Structure formats: structure tokens, C-alpha cells
Amino acid sequence: MAEMEERSVDGATNEMIEKATQDGVLTVFDRAENMRPCPIGAEGSCCKLCSMGPCRLPAPRRREETPEEKDNRRGVCGATIETIAARNFVRMVAAGTSAHSDHARTVVEAFIQAAKGEGSDFGILDEQKLLQVALDFGIEIAGRTSREIALELGEEALKEFGKPDGTLKFLERAPLRRQQVWEEQNSKPRAIDREVVECLHRTVMGVDLDYKHLFQQASRTALADGWGGSMLATELQDIMLGTPVPTTGKVNLGVLRHDAVNIVVHGHEPLLPEMLVVASQDKELRAAAAANGATGGINLSGICCSANEVLMRHGVPLAGNMLQQELAVVSGAVEAMVVDVQCIMQSLPKVADCYHTEVMTVSHKAKLPGAIHIEMDDAAPLAAAKEIVRRAIDNYPNRAQSKVNIPDHSVDLVAGFSHETIGYLLGGLFRASYKPLNENIINGRIRGVAGVVGCTNARVKHEDIHTQLVRELVKNDVLVIQTGCAAMACAKIGLMTPEAAHLHAGPGLAEVCETVGIPPVLHMGSCVDNSRILMAATAMVKEGGLGDDLSDLPVAGAAPEWMAEKAIAIGQYFVASGVYTVFGVTWPTVGSPEVTDWLMDEISESYGGKWAFEPDPIKMAKLMIDHIDEKRKALGLDEARERVLFDMEMRRDLDAV
Ligand code: NFS
């Protein structure tokens, strides 16, 4: 048990790992223990791009490499270690970008159907945002119906993936200075698909052999994710499904219920989850559940970003993050585990074999041997959703009570902080504004803002780095915004309730949070919603007083327990947008000290942002806070922070907020 407890800081996770062991089920935690990572691959020194290899070029351990040795560290084709490390990295960016952007394409196609109104389960829910986004696309809105505008917007959005000329429309949302930087670096993305394809082309054997030039394409591609695919996904989802507003919810495996049919939705695209919300409230289906003995009805909860999406819009509880997907099944209380795309473990059906859970796939893009495939129509997933709920109800009597153990852990949280909502909360409904945020940064109550995002990773103690890092940041008056699996980690320790302000935040941050009534850690949604962070940062620049570029802001980003290629794409678009970005666990280019040094230092000469790597959470917090302080100093705000935080005039000002 002592050893078990070390796998996670979360009690529910530890309890379910122990239960899995007792039930004879292997999980990701066992596999991580049994499978040592390949040290050569981990440092980016393995090239398998042609059949003269794979070439393994490990750096010498425990001593400096001589220049001659370094020059001789080459693949059979002559590629240097710099080229190999860079190519591996660039391909991660391409893969990550393709995931977010292919998600976006599905959303855009569903959006077009919704605009046409034919055979779609969706409509236009946020008309105000429709008009805003249409204006950003240069679409005429005067004298036209919402559907007409939406249809043109959908068609224009679809062109962003493959248009033959021009650059992405949303780039123009960025501060002007940032747009100039991209222009100077020749890194403005053209069509999204084109950038991914060019990444793949430039990294095949014998094409782009200059690592700095390769990283120019990595930046361009990553920007096509952040300011392209991810932003399109977020914005069109908001228009179609509603822009999130603050909502309460619960997190952790304790949200599963003994008396209800438990359906867990896992994956990323919000289309099916939305319709599962509808289907689980269907009168007939509820009656069927009751008739099958489920007195508590139908209980929908989620894992990963699917969960974040329906939490943000409907308050659907979060069962857990990526590393908890198998553990939800291990509870023995899940009738249906429904998955679409991304972050899905192939072991789920094998784990489910030990219980009554049915694993169901729904996307035409993703099948899973051992799972039942119920293919959904992306534009009209209600029929599939109803079939899924019906099957889950039928499965309820198969639940073996002797195998059920729902951990008694769930914690309240507030989510739903879209960047618009932050403006409303701070500035008021009719004068939404980032001015109060900027003013509180300028007067020093808030030291700066940190985005802490990304995965959980079985190579480190589950959620330990996230929670230590974020605690340290808020204690030092840094407002934290979160997405993805990171958000769930911190919600579980109570950081996403308004009360967390006086319990965990430094005096300045606590004062602001208590005045406005917000937690010191804000849940901004799923991983594609990292684009909300770009928009929030842009709103801060445009509000004034904090410089004229994203790279001037006292902000920093981190993915402390990252594991997915998607995280690398996200990190690269933040760096290329001017943000200092720290990753933990492992760094994928350590095999080439030259490339690593360049990414962590010199790249900032081009973009104003750079990478850092630090596995220790307290040191990571220090790096981020030091960076924030440096930016404050450059803005002339270091003295403001030294000023008395609680003088009466400032208090009155704050009360007036
Ligand atoms: Ni993001 Fe969302 Fe989680 Fe990592 Fe996977 S769920 S897209 S990739 S593991 S944060």
C-alpha cells in the first residue's frame, strides 16, 4: 500500500490502483513500471525516417562531448544530431497540430450543417459571438439572418484548412506588434493542412537539413494550431453549443453513482457528449433506467477533454483525467465507456473484460478492437447518443455488486471561464473589460498570470507536479488559468472554488478574487481552448498599460506533466506567440545540446518567447515567477509591487471594481 500511495497524490486514484491489483487487472501504472523508456528515443537521438536506419545517436553520458565527436554523431545518411533532434520535434508539432485541427474540421462541417438547418441536431446558440467571429472573417452581417451569416462563416472557415493563398484569418486578432514579428520571421501560417504537409515534407530524409530553418516551419505549423485549428474549434463550438459561463460542478471518481446508470464519455470532440447530455435527460430513457432498477436515473460524467467541454457548458461532472480512464472502469460501476478520438488507451476493452462495462467507439476516425462501434453522424449524433444510453441501461442489471467500489472522493469546483466571461466578471455585463485585471497587475495585487495546462504522465507521480506548482504560484499572487487534464488535477485539491482564494492565494490575489468572487485558479476548458488563453492575453495587451505585444506581458505558461504530441504543438505556439513556456517530466531534444540551448534561449531573439525544462515543481514555479518579475521590471512595475498593498485608497479603488 505504501508503494501504491506513491503513484498519485489523489486518494481516489490510489484506491482504484489497489483495487485493480486485487482484481488482477493491469493498468497504465503497472505498464509504466514494467516498461522502461528508451533513453535514446527519449532524448530525441533516434532517427527512423528511412530504412538505412533506424540510427541511434546517443549523447555521451556523464561527460562533455568533444567538437569532433559531436560532428561525427551522424546518421547513415549524414544527418547531424541537430537535424535529427529537430526533425523529431517538428514531427511532434505536425502530429499535435493535425489532431487539434482535424477536430476543428469536424466541428466546422457540423457547423455548416447546423447553419443549413437540414438534418442537424445543432443550432446557433451564441448569436453575439457569431457576429463577432463573422466580422473577424470580414463577412457582411448587415441585413442578413443568423443562418445566412453562419453558413458563410462555416464555408469560409472550411477554406482555412486548404486555401491556396493568403494567411490564416485569426492571425489578425493578435496584437499588431505580434503580427509584425510573425511577418519578420516568415512564420505566418497559410492553410492549416498545408503547414502540416510541409512539416512532413521538410522532415523526410534529405530535405530541410538546417535545424533553425526546420523550427521556422515548426513555429508556422504550431501557429496554425493555436491561431487556426484550435481557435476555430473553440469559436465555432461556442457559437453552436454556447459560450461557457461560470458553472458549478464536481470532480473525481466519486461522481460515479451506485443508484444510477453510469455513462462515462471520454475523448475530445464535444458533439456526441452534447447529445449524451440531451439523451440522458430523455423522459423515455429515464423511465427505462428506473424500470431496470436504476432509481437514480442516468448519470453522465466524463474523462479528459470531452469532460471539460460538457462541464464548461452543462456542469456535467468530471470523473477524472487521462490516467484515470482505466480506473473508472475498475470501479466496477460503469455501464458504458464511450470514446471518440485522442488520449484513449487501447487497454480499455481488456480492463473492461474483468467487469461488465461496455466500451463503445463512435467516430468514423477511430476504432478499437474489443469495443462496440456505434458510428455517429457528426452533424446529428443524437440517434447514436440514444442508442448508447439505451445499451447502457440494458447493461445496468449486469453490474456485479461484489465488484463495485466507488471511491468516496469528489470535490466541488467552478468552471466556465471563457475569455469573454473573464471580461464580464471583471468589467460587468455591459462594459466587459480587462481593465480591472490590468489595473490589479499594474498596482501589484496580482503579480502576473500563468497558464498551467496539459496532460498527466505515468512517468511521474500523478498530479503531484501540477498541484505543487499551482499552489506555489497562487501563494505568490500569480493568477492561474488552466485547461485540459491539468485543470482537473488542481480542481481535485479544491483550488477552483472561490474559498480557495483565502485558503491558498497570496494576500493581493486573494483580495482581488474575494472582491470579484472568483477562484484563484480559473478553469478555461479543454486543450483546444488554450486558444482562449491566447485571446485573454491579447485582450490584456489591447486593454493597455502592459506593453504592446504578448511578449511584454508578465505571464508564463507550463505543462508540468505533459505526454502528448499535442502538448508540444501547444507549447510551440505559445513560444512563437511570445510566451515563456516551461515543460516538466522530460525534454525531447536533450540529445542535441545545441538545439536545446537554442530553443531555451536564442529563439527568444526571434519570437520574444522561449522554452524551459524543469521537472521540479517548486523550481518550475520559481522560473515562472522570475520571468514574470522580469517582465514587470521591463514595464516599470517592479516598484509598484513594492508599494503597500493595503493602503486605503487602493482598497476603495478595488471596492469600486
Ligand atoms: Ni490535452 Fe485533452 Fe489530457 Fe493531455 Fe490528453 S486529454 S487534449 S492531450 S492527456 S491534457
Structure confidence by residue, pLDDT tens digits, 51-89: 999 999 998 888 888 988 888 899 999 999 999 999 999
Task: Pick the more confident residue, 428 or 154.
Answer: 154
**Exposure of 590 by Cβ count < 10 A (0-12 exposed, 13-18 middle, 19+ buried)?**
middle
Pocket lining: 305 vs ligand 1, CB cutoff 6 Å: yes
Bridging pattern class, strands 581-583 and 611-613:
parallel
Span from the CA of 343 to the centroid of ligand 1 (angstroms): 6
Span from the CA of 525 to the centroid of ligand 1 (angstroms): 11
Is 20 a member of any domain? no
Alpha carbon of 464 to those of 34, 40, 141, 268: distances in Å? 21, 26, 49, 24
User: What contacts 118, CB < 8 A, 6 or more positions away?
Assistant: none
Q: What pLDDT does 430 receive?
A: 64
Atom of ligand 1 nearest to the CA of 564: 8
d(CA 226, CA 97): 8
Tell which residue, 144, 108, 109, 110, has the closest CA to residue 127. 144
Q: What pLDDT does 655 receive?
A: 47
Q: What pLDDT does 132 receive?
A: 96
Summarised one tens digit per residue, pLDDT across range 33-45 is: 999 999 999 999 9
User: Ligand 1, from 92, 225, 322: best to mutate by most atoms within 8 Å of Cβ?
Assistant: 322
d(CA 251, CA 318): 5
Number of C-beta neighbours around residue 210 at 10 A: 13
Pocket lining: 525 vs ligand 1, CB cutoff 6 Å: no
* Cβ proximity of 315 and 247 under 8 Å: yes
Atom of ligand 1 nearest to the CA of 486: 10
Pocket lining: 454 vs ligand 1, CB cutoff 6 Å: yes
CATH of the domain at 339: 3.40.50.2030
Q: Place 649 in a pLDDT band, splitting at 50, 70 and 90.
A: low
Atom of ligand 1 nearest to the CA of 526: 2
Cell numbers at 219, concatenated: 513555429
Pocket lining: 487 vs ligand 1, CB cutoff 6 Å: no
* Cβ proximity of 362 and 383 under 8 Å: no
Looking at the fold, whether 606 and 483 belong to one and the same domain comes out as yes
Cell numbers at 201, concatenated: 515534407
Is 56 a member of any domain? no
Cα four-point dihedral sign 305, 308, 312, 315: positive
Is 591 a member of any domain? yes
Q: Place 6 in a pLDDT band, splitting at 50, 70 and 90.
A: confident
E-strand ranges in 426-546 read: 448-452, 478-482, 521-523
Cell numbers at 419, concatenated: 475569455
Containing 303, the helix (H) or strand (E) segment is strand 298-303
Summarised one tens digit per residue, pLDDT across range 134-173 is: 999 999 999 999 999 999 999 999 999 999 999 999 999 9
Pocket lining: 46 vs ligand 1, CB cutoff 6 Å: no
Instruction: Compute the C-alpha angle 29/34/36, nearest 5°.
Output: 105
Pocket lining: 323 vs ligand 1, CB cutoff 6 Å: no
Pocket lining: 322 vs ligand 1, CB cutoff 6 Å: yes
Name the closest-CA residue to atom 6, ligand 1: 304
CATH of the domain at 156: 1.20.1270.30
Instruction: Compute the C-alpha angle 602/204/601, nearest 5°.
Output: 10
Looking at the fold, whether 126 and 268 belong to one and the same domain comes out as no
* Cβ proximity of 310 and 316 under 8 Å: yes
Name the closest-CA residue to atom 4, ligand 1: 455
Q: Please say if the pLDDT value at position 422 is more than 90.
A: no
User: What contacts 567, CB < 8 A, 6 or more positions away?
Assistant: 96, 453, 454, 455, 559, 583
Atom of ligand 1 nearest to the CA of 527: 7
Looking at the fold, whether 478 and 335 belong to one and the same domain comes out as no
Amino acid at 72: N
**Exposure of 398 by Cβ count < 10 A (0-12 exposed, 13-18 middle, 19+ buried)?**
exposed
E-strand ranges in 475-566 read: 478-482, 521-523, 555-559
**At which of 403, 425, 445 does a domain end?**
403
Mean pLDDT of the chain: 94
Looking at the fold, whether 483 and 552 belong to one and the same domain comes out as yes
Looking at the fold, whether 463 and 582 belong to one and the same domain comes out as yes
Q: What pLDDT does 314 receive?
A: 96
Atom of ligand 1 nearest to the CA of 456: 9
Span from the CA of 23 to the centroid of ligand 1 (angstroms): 28
Span from the CA of 47 to the centroid of ligand 1 (angstroms): 26
Looking at the fold, whether 215 and 280 belong to one and the same domain comes out as no
**At which of 373, 403, 433 does a domain end?**
403
* Cβ proximity of 248 and 321 under 8 Å: no
Span from the CA of 99 to the centroid of ligand 1 (angstroms): 11
Atom of ligand 1 nearest to the CA of 453: 10
Name the closest-CA residue to atom 5, ligand 1: 343
Looking at the fold, whether 399 and 423 belong to one and the same domain comes out as no
Is 607 a member of any domain? yes
Pocket lining: 345 vs ligand 1, CB cutoff 6 Å: no
d(CA 243, CA 194): 30
Bond prior to 54 in cis (omega within 30° of 0): yes
Residue found under cell 448587415: 142
Q: What pLDDT does 60 receive?
A: 84
Pocket lining: 484 vs ligand 1, CB cutoff 6 Å: yes
Q: What pLDDT does 62 receive?
A: 82
Is 531 a member of any domain? yes
Q: What pLDDT does 425 receive?
A: 83
d(CA 265, CA 340): 8
Looking at the fold, whether 392 and 522 belong to one and the same domain comes out as no
d(CA 507, CA 236): 38
d(CA 346, CA 343): 9
Span from the CA of 486 to the centroid of ligand 1 (angstroms): 9
Number of C-beta neighbours around residue 142 at 10 A: 5
* Cβ proximity of 450 and 555 under 8 Å: yes
Q: What pLDDT does 643 receive?
A: 45
d(CA 513, CA 520): 6
Pocket lining: 304 vs ligand 1, CB cutoff 6 Å: yes
Name the closest-CA residue to atom 7, ligand 1: 527
Q: What pLDDT does 653 receive?
A: 54
* Cβ proximity of 105 and 98 under 8 Å: no
Looking at the fold, whether 166 and 293 belong to one and the same domain comes out as no
Paired with 481 in beta bridges are: 451, 522
Pocket lining: 85 vs ligand 1, CB cutoff 6 Å: no
Looking at the fold, whether 620 and 512 belong to one and the same domain comes out as yes
Span from the CA of 241 to the centroid of ligand 1 (angstroms): 21
Helices (H) and strands (E) in the chain, counts: 31, 16
Name the closest-CA residue to atom 9, ligand 1: 455
Atom of ligand 1 nearest to the CA of 308: 2
Cell numbers at 11, concatenated: 486518494
Mean pLDDT, range 574-598, rounded to an integer:
97
Number of C-beta neighbours around residue 346 at 10 A: 10
Q: What pLDDT does 118 receive?
A: 84
DSSP 568-596: HHHHHHHHHTT--EEE-S--TTTT-HHHH
Mean pLDDT, range 217-241, rounded to an integer:
98
d(CA 648, CA 366): 60
Summarised one tens digit per residue, pLDDT across range 179-214 is: 999 999 999 999 999 999 999 999 999 999 999 999
d(CA 649, CA 124): 46
Residue found under cell 498519485: 8
Model pTM score = 0.95
Q: What pLDDT does 641 receive?
A: 57
Tell which residue, 41, 575, 111, has the closest CA to residue 380. 111
Pocket lining: 303 vs ligand 1, CB cutoff 6 Å: no
Looking at the fold, whether 456 and 420 belong to one and the same domain comes out as yes
Q: What pLDDT does 3 receive?
A: 47
Is 359 a member of any domain? yes
Cell numbers at 51, concatenated: 530504412
Q: Place 396 in a pLDDT band, splitting at 50, 70 and 90.
A: very high
Residue found under cell 533532434: 85
Is 544 a member of any domain? yes
* Cβ proximity of 349 and 370 under 8 Å: yes
By three-state DSSP, how is residue 388 classified? helix
Is 374 a member of any domain? yes
Q: For the chain, first and last CA: distance in Å?
A: 50
Looking at the fold, whether 499 and 558 belong to one and the same domain comes out as yes
Summarised one tens digit per residue, pLDDT across range 636-646 is: 998 755 544 44
Into how many domains does the chain fold? 3
Mean pLDDT, range 599-624, rounded to an integer:
98
The residue range of the domain holding 227 is 81-241
* Torsion on CA atoms 161, 166, 169, 171, rounded to nearest 10: 110
Containing 611, the helix (H) or strand (E) segment is strand 611-613
* Cβ proximity of 455 and 563 under 8 Å: yes
Q: What are phi and psi of 555, to 5 degrees?
A: -135, 160
